[in-house]
Amino acid sequence: MMNESELPTSNSLLAFEATVRHGSMTAAADELGITQPLVSQRIRSLEEELGSVLLDRSRKPLKPTIIGEKFYGRIKEPIQLLFKACDFVKNERNDKKTRVSINVYFGFAFYWLMPRLNKLQEAFPDYVFEMTPTNSLSDMMVSSSDIVFHFSNSLGRYKFEEMFIREEVFPVCSPELLEKYEINVDKPLSDLRSLPLLHKDKDDARWFNWINWCKVLGVQPPEEGVIFCYNNYPLVLEAAIRGEGFCLAWRGLVDPYIKEGKLVELGPSLKSKSRGYLICTDYYDTYAIKKVVDWLIKEVESGDR
């Protein structure tokens, strides 16, 4: 009987088992998340340790040799049982974790929350976070999630509501477009009639569009026909980054792109005293939800936007 030092490594056994099952070292490498040469190396090492050629490499798909077939038949079931045992432990662990559901508008989820999910998970390793992005106001209003991010004034319908990011709206464009239209960043825009403009949906009353933004700030509004609409905000922002036009931006969502130089912030800026992203919950009195809400508030107050 072989002693422990003579036993093949688990990595070499997994490489051989996956290769025989798929008939391909490349497919085995994809499944194991390693390179094809490393799979080949591990199988060579296994053959050297056992003193037998296990694979017939002269044809494709790869087939085991006679001894390789017998060896595969003996290790296949134990390896499958090992995977099942590992899955069982992981599922048991996840079942015991605290689950926190978060409902949020798509743009805020994409630009503020998702970039911080890893950081949030590191802060709460025993929690499982379930995020549900939406652009539907009706979905938000009937949400039963533990934490909800609304874009509104104070709602008065949750036990806990706090202003998270106050609304501030301003134009942005790519550096290339700034140069093309010879715009001075130190001088607020006063006339939009000659500029290509981008927007999400000018008929959605929840968000400022170019027309009502201009009306509030006294800017010469655009002519009808120069506004290009997209069905979600990430598409608008990506179009602006590509230099396809100017778009309105919301503080807290676009800051990283401005810092990276992909977008340039222009004026004037429209700041709201009472409207913005609210963090809301009916479960702030529970220890688990309170910890997460307090962490999120601290994250935005830290200025790391």
26-63 residue pLDDT tens: 999 998 888 999 999 999 998 988 889 999 988 888 99
Distances (CA, A) of 203 to 211, 251, 302: 10, 21, 35
What tokens does 122 get? 């590191």
120's CB contacts (< 8 A; 6+ apart) are 129, 292, 295, 296
> What average pLDDT score do residues 97-109 get?
87
Residue 305: pLDDT band (50, 70, 90) is very low
Per-residue confidence (pLDDT) for residue 55, from 0 to 100:
93
pLDDT of residue 91: 65
Q: Among 18-27, 150-159, 288-297, which stretch is predicted with the lowest mean pLDDT?
A: 150-159
- Mind listing the pLDDT tens digit for each residue in 174-225? 999 999 999 999 999 999 888 999 887 656 667 888 888 999 999 988 776 5
Report whether 295 contacts 153 (CB < 8 A). no
User: Which helix (H) or strand (E) is 278 found in, with range?
Assistant: strand 270-281
Per mean pLDDT, which range of 24-33, 127-136, 259-268, 271-280 is the poorest?
A: 127-136
**pLDDT for the residue 153:** 80
pLDDT at 94: 56
Q: Is the distance from CB of 292 to CB of 242 less than 8 angstroms?
A: no
Identify the CATH class of 4-95: mainly alpha
pLDDT for residue 131: 87
Q: Domain 166-274 belongs to what topology?
A: D-Maltodextrin-Binding Protein; domain 2 (3.40.190)
Concatenating the DSSP letter of every residue in 172-218 gives: EE-HHHHHHTT--TTS---B-TTS-EEES-TT-TTS--HHHHHHHHT
Query: What is the Cα–Cα distance from 253 to 91, expressed in whole angstroms?
Result: 35
Rounded Cα distance between 231 and 201, Å, is 7
pLDDT the model gives residue 227:
62
Per-residue tokens: 201? 């949906």
* Contact between 143 and 103 (Cβ < 8 Å): yes
CA 164 from chain center: how many Å?
20
The pLDDT of residue 95 is above 70: no
Look at residue 304 and tell me whether its pLDDT is greater than 50: no
**Beta-sheet pairing, 55-56 with 63-64:** antiparallel
What is the structure's pLDDT at 92?
Answer: 60
| CATH superfamily to which 100-165+275-301 belongs | Periplasmic binding protein-like II (3.40.190.10)
pLDDT in the model for residue 82: 80
**Confidence tier at 288 by pLDDT (50, 70, 90):** very high
Q: What percent of the chain has pLDDT over 70?
A: 90
Mean pLDDT, the chain, rounded, equals 86
Pick the more confident residue, 226 or 160.
160
- Structure tokens belonging to residue 35: 């390179």
Does 292 have pLDDT greater than 90? yes
Domain locations in the chain?
A: 4-95, 100-165+275-301, 166-274
User: Same CATH fold, 166-274 and 100-165+275-301?
Assistant: yes
Return the CA Rg of the chain: 28
